[in-house]
Amino acid sequence: MDVLVVNCGSSSLKLDLLDAESGARRVSARAERLGTPEARLRIGEEVVSMGGADHARALETALPKLMTSTAGVRAVGHRVVHGGEDFTRPVRVDDAVVEAIDTLSSLAPLHNPANLAGIRAARALLPDAVHVAVFDTAFHGTLPSRARAYALPWALSQKHGLRRYGFHGPSHQWVARRAADFLDEDLRDLRVITCHLGNGASVTAIEYGRSVETSMGMTPLEGLVMGTRSGDVDPGVLLELMRREGLDAAGLDTLLNRSSGLAGLSGRGNDLRDIESGAAEGDERCRLALQVFTHRLRKYIGAYAAVMGGVDVIVFTAGIGENSALIRHRVAQRLDFLGARLDEEANREARVSKDAPVAAVSLPHSRTRILIAATDEAHAIARATARLAESRDAVETDLQIPIAISARHIHLTTEAVEALFGVGHQLTPHKPLSQPGQFACEEKLDIVGPKRTLSGVRVLGPVRPKCQVEVSRTDEFALGIDAPVRNSGDVANSPGVTLVGPAGKLTLTEGLICARRHIHMTPADATRFGVADRDVVEVAVDSEGRDLIFGDVLVRVKSTYALEMHVDTDEANAAEIRRGQAGALAGTGRVARLRRRRTDYDRG
């Protein structure tokens, strides 16, 4: 499907008509310096001066010229910088969406109004096409609250929506996906750090397909050193500058967004090529600019490896990441301790292109792979747009899914059963659970955390190859242990905990998790719903007459499963779902319905 991608910057407009599958460009147009007397539009070889033109006029002029090359466009994808709290995935644009994006302009005053101008003009010019908004922030909708929050007064943050959002989402997601494809692995099995290094720069920690940390914050100013943006600065410096230089908000804005970064440090402008040349010629400021740039990125990579408990792949992308062997060399030279070992020769020689978008630059035995990947934001936006335009996110919404509440419980290995209950002990079934073959046991254990003990926690049978202790967020705080949200069975790198039974005590080195909400279903169910194993879906629970939506629900398909959604006690409380009967896994009599499936776009 051909998609027109509209990307409006504050004074620029990029239009690309491309094939959503292959990414092949049919035709492109670029407008620059919009709103100034020097405004001009370029389509192929043709350059049109259009002094004073705004986004709408540039679009009006460009579109008919673009359209002559095709029979017409059925889908238009719009890049929108800020999606705020509301937009955590691409959406079809209607009047309500336009209004919501408008409201978000206060969060991105430089960007959202320009994006909206493009949406309004394109909808007027192409009223019959499906218009889709793709948000820079959406991919980071999965950031946990600990990574979102600023340590500012809570009420103030609530009032103004002060929190970290993250940007460059389509690019981070795109290159992570390309990297996984290149390695012939599933992104959902990898911990990836993506470094998008263009004029704007950000780094993201992608844990098993989900963004869990990213360096840009509420605005695209936090984090790495950029072309003209400072990235991280002690906020105290700003207070001092206000006092000493008499700077106001506008003055600080210009300083931090336009006069800082590589340009401010080097005094040679924002083009890294010039700074690399300057450094080679002995210019100390250029050298410092390179050092600060690479030092900060290395610092973030180390931090993000710590956040994810390790890293499998580091990806470099965008103008600098794809082209500067020097920057990659400087960043990667001290990462051996993470198992990331750069192949210097491969790094010097590596080139990526649309035809060969990924190249490996780590040594063959490097535990952590280092890759370069060509980003293509327009292609990412086109794919997301085509998926929505073709309704590929649709699911069966009428079928009902029973809901069960999973209380804290423990799975044990045979060895653990013997250590806790005595040699030769066999688990005693108390009553069967809804999943065939599974049963709640008579046996109970105490879970001992550094802070408190949870007593009498039910063991579930049968025994498993690994011990796993599933608790809720509330339990986690009670125990005093930080447990990750994981799929059941995925306990690698999770924290340990001590279990106490009648015959002994057992300290696990790993196994404590908060189970991710999930739906069990058979392959036949999956076909009926239009989903596949490990898909992530959105589920609506009819709660007291209003739909309560659970996002991020994992689908688990096996022929022996019975159709059922499992939520933990915290989630059930939030949804005001009460437990039917006592037990480790209690049916509630309530039902849910699928609302949508994540598209491939969401999955990364």
Residues taking part in catalysis: 136
Question: Which residue number, 368 or 375, has a Cβ lying nearer to ligand ADP?
Answer: 375
In the complex, the smallest distance separating the C-beta of residue 6 from ligand ADP, rounded to whole angstroms, is 16
- Tell me the C-alpha distance between 541 and 42, whole Å: 51
- Tell me the C-alpha distance between 321 and 174, whole Å: 14
Question: Which residue number, 88 or 317, has a Cβ lying nearer to ligand ADP?
Answer: 317
Nearest Cα to 473, choosing from 55, 218, 146, 116?
Answer: 146
In the complex, the smallest distance separating the C-beta of residue 374 from ligand ADP, rounded to whole angstroms, is 10
In the complex, the smallest distance separating the C-beta of residue 318 from ligand ADP, rounded to whole angstroms, is 4
In the complex, the smallest distance separating the C-beta of residue 270 from ligand ADP, rounded to whole angstroms, is 6
Question: Which residue number, 318 or 457, has a Cβ lying nearer to ligand ADP?
Answer: 318
Q: Which two tokens stand for residue 223?
A: 């984090």
In the complex, the smallest distance separating the C-beta of residue 317 from ligand ADP, rounded to whole angstroms, is 8
Question: Which residue number, 77 or 200, has a Cβ lying nearer to ligand ADP?
Answer: 200
- Tell me the C-alpha distance between 271 and 263, whole Å: 8
223, 203 in Cβ contact below 8 A? yes
Measured CA to CA in angstroms, residue 244 lies from 212, 233, 237, 239, 264 at distances of 38, 17, 10, 9, 19
Burial 491-530 (b: 16+ CB within 10 A, else e): beebbbbbbbbeeeebebebbbbbbbbbbbbeeebbeebb
557, 526 in Cβ contact below 8 A? yes
- Tell me the C-alpha distance between 404 and 226, whole Å: 49
- Tell me the C-alpha distance between 495 and 493, whole Å: 7
Measured CA to CA in angstroms, residue 195 lies from 8, 179, 314, 386 at distances of 23, 12, 8, 27
Question: Which residue number, 9 or 495, has a Cβ lying nearer to ligand ADP?
Answer: 9
Contacts of 1 (CB under 8 A, 6+ apart): 19, 20, 21, 74, 75, 386, 389, 390
Q: Which two tokens stand for residue 356?
A: 């060969």
In the complex, the smallest distance separating the C-beta of residue 373 from ligand ADP, rounded to whole angstroms, is 12
Binding residues for ligand ADP, rule: CB under 6 A, are: 198-200, 227, 270-273, 276, 318-320, 323-324
**Residue-level length of the chain:** 604
Question: Which residue number, 228 or 368, has a Cβ lying nearer to ligand ADP?
Answer: 228
CA 202 distance to own-chain centroid = 13
In the complex, the smallest distance separating the C-beta of residue 9 from ligand ADP, rounded to whole angstroms, is 9
Residue with smallest beta-carbon separation from ligand ADP: 319
Question: Which residue number, 350 or 389, has a Cβ lying nearer to ligand ADP?
Answer: 350
